[in-house]
């Protein structure tokens, strides 16, 4: 059984949403990427000392908009619990859904995200 530390409301509010397509394209072209079974993490440094987060699930993952939206909701929940305390500031993060994102357990998705951050060297330093 995994122990999941949930972020507080203040910590969750520290995440800023990426909404512009140009930002997504910049991160995709100039950033780094790590692939796990449940999700893909793309990241690039930003000018500010904040964490920005974006989500994407393409039609290749599933043709049904309902299922793609469900995957996005799952990714939002995982990011809200992991990124505020587990990721470095000053980075833009994009979580890309995969077909397994819909069926993997929530705890496993959280571990996938932590694993990707650890492998890219972006895990937050704990005091």
Threshold 0.75, pTM exceeds: yes
- 53 assigned to some structural domain: yes
Confidence of residue 15 (pLDDT cuts 50, 70, 90): confident
The predicted pLDDT at position 3 comes to 46
- 6 assigned to some structural domain: no
- 111 assigned to some structural domain: yes
- 48 assigned to some structural domain: yes
3-state secondary structure the chain: CCCCCCCCHHHHHCEEECCCHHHHHHHHHHCEEEECCCEEEEEEECCCCCEEEEEECCCCCCCCHHHHHHHHHHHHHHHHHHHHHHECCCEEEEEEECHHHHCCCHHHHHHHHHHHHHHHCCECCCC
- 34 assigned to some structural domain: yes
- 125 assigned to some structural domain: no
Report the number of distinct structural domains present in the chain. Answer: 1
Confidence of residue 124 (pLDDT cuts 50, 70, 90): confident
């Amino acid at each position: 059984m995994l122990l999941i530390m949930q972020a507080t409301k203040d910590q969750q509010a520290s995440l800023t949403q990426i909404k512009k397509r140009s930002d997504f394209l910049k991160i995709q072209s100039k950033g780094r990427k790590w692939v796990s079974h449940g999700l893909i993490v793309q990241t690039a440094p930003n000018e500010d000392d904040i964490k920005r987060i974006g989500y994407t699930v393409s039609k290749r993952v599933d043709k049904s908009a309902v299922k793609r939206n469900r995957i996005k909701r799952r990714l939002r929940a995982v990011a809200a619990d992991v990124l505020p305390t587990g990721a470095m500031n000053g980075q833009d993060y994009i979580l890309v859904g995969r077909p397994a994102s819909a069926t993997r357990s929530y705890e496993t998705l959280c571990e996938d995200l932590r694993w990707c951050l650890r492998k890219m060297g972006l895990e937050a330093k704990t005091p």
